[in-house]
Structure 1
Amino acid sequence: MKYRISILLAFLGFFAQAQERLTLKDAVNYALQNKAEAVKARLDVQNSEYQIDEVRANALPQISATGGLTYNAIIPQMALVMGDQVQVIQMGTPWQSNATVSLNQQIFNQAVFTGLKAAKSTREFYKINAQLTEEQVIEKVANSYYEAYKTESQLTTIDKTIDNTSRVRDVIKSLFDNGLAKKIDLDRIEVSLNNLKSNRQQTINALQLQENALKYLIGMDMNQDIELPENTFEVTKHALVDESVNIENRTEILLLEKQGELLALNKKAIEAQAYPSLSMNANFGYNGFGQVLPWFAKPADGVYWSGASAIGLNLNIPIFNGGSVKAKVRQAQIDIEKLEADKRDTRLGLDLELKNAVTQLNNSLITLNIQKENVNLAKEVLTNIENNYKFGLATLTDLLDAETQYADAQNNHTNALLDYKVAEIALIKAKGELKSLTQE
């Protein structure tokens, strides 16, 4: 029996350790490390380094080697007339082989150099995009986290209400047993208690669904149990916006600016198609031929080798392309102008978001204070009616109504807390400080 108890305690200790206490900071950092969107954004940044290497390779020397071996099963012949005689000459030998090393180097190619600048800007674009992706993940996780916490707080409220109703039920039962209360009063309080238990089960189910949604958002195993700390919903002092806040520092604006830079480079790359280009090429090789396989053979074997080399410059001057480059340049300019329109609209939207976030936070704080006062008043009313009911100065209906109002006040306070926290997240986002949630 002693060993069974030890094994049971060991299992209980294992499951207790398996439950993870998850703060908002932990949830956000876990998501940034494991959520697919964040992981892929980091991989895009890593991949941009390889894109730069690929473009840089076009500006570096291109060296290649070729080789070949040919056996002429039937050697062609040519007839030559020399005087009055016709002579047939064999063109070639049965065996031929060659080996050549070639080099090509771009000396001036505006398209290649512009492409290298664009590749470096693309790396910066992916870095900013990764930052924006992280901010979007943080916002989703924070909102989902507070939604789950709201439901958990509602569950706590229901548990307190059940405890309080059970205590009242026990009082009514005692009065009924002593002939001081009616059977209908006891039945009504039992119905109310059963309804609360039903609501509790529904809230548990809702909480489970929300916790699963939260685990999905952060990329956590669905089998991992989580626990939200009790102090998550505390109201924190948050600095409101002043005139120094600049939306130009928002990631959305930085991303559009970098996109504009890429579009400008794209236009230059298209214009470069009309520029002259200059490259150098060189090659060096050996040709072997003879009556036998040329490899490792000597002139004594009837095999001869000769070397060949050439160095040249290639100049390409576009003269007329039917106006295709001009049309492409105009299309690229249209893309730039469309992006400028997006910038103006984005700035307007971010300014609206900032002002709305401040307004919403202030209104949420006012509502939160009102609901907190309501909770205190409802609790005071419930206490008074409970005392009055014991002395026959209040009806059961008054008591049940007071309990309902107290529970509603607590739930309204919880909802107001959620609204405040969501508004706080919106303000932090509007100020471009979502990354601060990873350090709280």
Structure 2
Amino acid sequence: MKKSINLLAICFALSGAFRASGQQAPQAFSLQQSISYALQNRPNLKANQNEEKIAKARVGEIRAMGLPQIDIAADVSNNFIQQKTLLDPSGFAGPELDPFVITPEQLNGQQPIVLTPAYSDRELPENTPLQVITFTQPYTGSIGINGSQLLFDGSYLIGLKAAKTYTELSRKTTAQTEIDIAEQVSKAYYSVLVSGARMALLDQNLVRLDTLLYQTKVMFENGVAEKLDVDRLQVSLNNLKVEKQKAERLAALSESLLKFQMGLPQRQPILLTDKLAEVQVDIATINTNDFNYNSRIEYSILETQRDLADLDMRNKRSGYLPKLYLTARYGYNGVGSSLSDVLNVRAGANNNIDRNWFDFGFVGVQLQVPVFDGLRKHYQIQQARLAVENAKYGFETIRQSIDLELVQATTELTNALDVLDSQQENLALAQEIARVTKIKFQEGVGANLEVVTAETELRQAQTNYYAAMYDALIAKVNLDKATGKLLTK
């Protein structure tokens, strides 16, 4: 309890320091303006709005998967250990050109020399060993451009729909946060209004009791009243001053809470333009018979979650469908005995002497047909089907929950209005009793103790009335939220 008192004292002191040091003019807010300001400045709502933008970007990311994919790759490698293989020389055995001789007479003659080659079979020695050879140069390089285009993928089309649905879910989540903020701001706003009205009544009580104390002192000096009468009124006045100080601290704390709910800096003074007397709290204006569950954002969110679960099941089923891609590549491969040699690009179709870079290219269609995955997709589909069933079961649960909220909120508001009417009548009676006892005391036909008792009962009636007023306002906010009418755009 001591810690709570200290916390209130600190909050009040800080609030007073802010008012003393700040030179800013108060900023006026109605309830709707307070809600609008909060919807633009609350950090958690901005975070939800960013999540909504992320979801929209996710749609673009998935859509990009169906567009052509193009990339360029280049590399240079040092084959410091060249890959080798074994070659069987017997595979290259074949006819051998027989030797021939050109005589001097043929060279000196005038007739053309005609050579008729003759071949004979060559036989390799038996048990000719395999030869170790390599086809790899010390340095190799490559550069190429790769392209692919998705032609058909069932999961891609469903994924695109799921991404759009997820965007819708993110938007509805943001709307739910906005409704929660509107509820928090409304309750904090009404709390400040009630605290302000109660403070005004306490000021009136102080003036009235201080005047009565002054009159009683005059009566005491004239011998009409007793010293005990003055002391009783002084005790009541002191208690009322302490009660006002406590109410001021609580009012400052309520104002700080409202600023927090609005996302407003604590140093910024505010002025509430709505009047407590203008707030309409009437159960007759609310009809829950024509209530539609779709007006509740929670129900709408569940519908979107059901759609997502259904799309997820369809996506799992599409895993049995084939995938078709169009692929293409064009580039160059280069070789060299050294790094500088491979970097010295010598290419071109007309270069038949020292060419070291050679181009290549291909285009094709790739078909992927799933055959057997160990029943993995079967169990995934089973899980997705159960998730869809759970989403459908959730509708019955949320309908029952909403029905209970409607009954509870309606009952709370009805009871709060009954209590408010009773406390309003008690307040009027307490005011009349205090007025009459004061007159009787001043005319000498009443006791001072009756005046003190009447003032105490009046303050209690005032406290009860504004507590009932606050409860009625909070019950009204709860019923507006239960019917989905708290925040409409």
Q: Which residue is equivalent to 1:202?
A: 246
Q: Per-residue deviation at 1:174?
A: 0.6
Q: How big is each residue's C-alpha offset from its partner over 1:43-99, in whole Å with a ceiling of 9 and x where there is no partner?
A: 111111111111112222221111122345676677773655998866344443221
Q: Which residue is equivalent to 2:56?
A: 49
Q: Which residue is equivalent to 1:240?
A: 286
Count, aligned residues: 426
Q: Quick check: 1:110 aligned with 2:186?
A: no
Cα distance in 1, alignment partners of residues 352 and 370 from structure 2: 53
TM-score for both structures, normalised by structure 1: 0.89
Cα distance in 2, alignment partners of residues 219 and 41 from structure 1: 15
| Residue type at the aligned position of 1:354 | L
Flag the 1:233–1:314 CA change in 2: closer, same or farther, 3 A.
farther
Q: Which residue is equivalent to 1:99?
A: 143
134-143 or 321-330: bigger deviation: 321-330
125-134 or 242-251: bigger deviation: 242-251
Q: Unaligned regions of 5+ residues in structure 2, if any?
A: 1-18, 94-123
Q: Which residue is equivalent to 2:346?
A: 297
Paired residues of 2:345 and 2:357 also in contact (CA < 8 A): no
Flag the 1:402–1:88 CA change in 2: closer, same or farther, 3 A.
closer
Q: Per-residue deviation at 1:300?
A: 8.0
Q: Which residue is equivalent to 1:36?
A: 43
Flag the 1:204–1:108 CA change in 2: closer, same or farther, 3 A.
same
Instruction: Write the mapping of 1:74-85 to structure 2, written as runs, cut at 5 A.
Output: 81=89, 84=124
Q: Quick check: 1:214 aligned with 2:258?
A: yes
Instruction: Write the mapping of 1:357-368 to structure 2, written as runs, cut at 5 A.
Output: 357-368=409-420
Flag the 1:435–1:74 CA change in 2: closer, same or farther, 3 A.
closer
Cα distance in 2, alignment partners of residues 372 and 234 from structure 1: 16
Paired residues of 1:23 and 1:232 also in contact (CA < 8 A): no
Q: Quick check: 1:321 aligned with 2:367?
A: no
Q: Which residue is equivalent to 1:264?
A: 310
Paired residues of 1:109 and 1:277 also in contact (CA < 8 A): yes
Instruction: Write the mapping of 1:359-438 to structure 2, written as runs, cut at 5 A.
Output: 359-436=411-488
Q: For 1:19, which of 11, 22, 26 is the aligned residue?
A: 26
Q: Per-residue deviation at 1:433?
A: 1.6
Paired residues of 1:294 and 1:303 also in contact (CA < 8 A): no
Cα distance in 1, alignment partners of residues 274 and 370 from structure 2: 72
Flag the 1:24–1:300 CA change in 2: closer, same or farther, 3 A.
same
Instruction: Write the mapping of 1:330-341 to structure 2, written as runs, cut at 5 A.
Output: 330-341=382-393
Secondary structure (helix, strand or coil) at the match of 1:270 reads helix
TM-score for both structures, normalised by structure 2: 0.80
| Residue type at the aligned position of 1:414 | Y
276-285 or 383-392: bigger deviation: 276-285
Q: How big is each residue's C-alpha offset from its partner over 1:80-128, in whole Å with a ceiling of 9 and x where there is no partner?
A: 7365599886634444322111112222211111111100000111111
Larger radius of gyration, structure 1 or 2? Answer: 2
Secondary structure (helix, strand or coil) at the match of 2:415 reads helix
Paired residues of 1:111 and 1:273 also in contact (CA < 8 A): yes
Secondary structure (helix, strand or coil) at the match of 2:144 reads strand
Flag the 1:69–1:16 CA change in 2: closer, same or farther, 3 A.
closer
Flag the 1:65–1:177 CA change in 2: closer, same or farther, 3 A.
same
Q: Per-residue deviation at 1:340?
A: 2.0
Flag the 1:73–1:413 CA change in 2: closer, same or farther, 3 A.
closer
Q: Per-residue deviation at 1:165?
A: 0.6
Q: Quick check: 1:136 aligned with 2:174?
A: no
Q: Per-residue deviation at 1:360?
A: 3.1
Q: Which residue is equivalent to 2:121?
A: none
Q: Which residue is equivalent to 1:171?
A: 215
Q: Which residue is equivalent to 1:344?
A: 396
Cα distance in 1, alignment partners of residues 56 and 274 from structure 2: 45
Q: Per-residue deviation at 1:311?
A: 1.9
| Residue type at the aligned position of 1:306 | F
Q: Unaligned regions of 5+ residues in structure 1, if any?
A: 1-11
Cα distance in 1, alignment partners of residues 20 and 267 from structure 2: 17
Secondary structure (helix, strand or coil) at the match of 1:264 reads helix
372-381 or 259-268: bigger deviation: 372-381
Flag the 1:94–1:157 CA change in 2: closer, same or farther, 3 A.
same
Paired residues of 2:232 and 2:452 also in contact (CA < 8 A): no
120-129 or 90-99: bigger deviation: 90-99
Q: How big is each residue's C-alpha offset from its partner over 1:161-187, in whole Å with a ceiling of 9 and x where there is no partner?
A: 111110110110010111111111111
Q: Which residue is equivalent to 2:6?
A: none
51-60 or 317-326: bigger deviation: 317-326
Secondary structure (helix, strand or coil) at the match of 1:59 reads coil
Paired residues of 2:229 and 2:449 also in contact (CA < 8 A): no
Cα distance in 1, alignment partners of residues 278 and 445 from structure 2: 39
- Structure with a larger share of its residues in helix: 1
Q: Per-residue deviation at 1:290?
A: 4.2
Q: Quick check: 1:153 aligned with 2:197?
A: yes
| Residue type at the aligned position of 1:252 | E
| Residue type at the aligned position of 2:316 | I
Cα distance in 2, alignment partners of residues 230 and 187 from structure 1: 41
Q: Per-residue deviation at 1:242?
A: 5.0
| Residue type at the aligned position of 1:195 | N
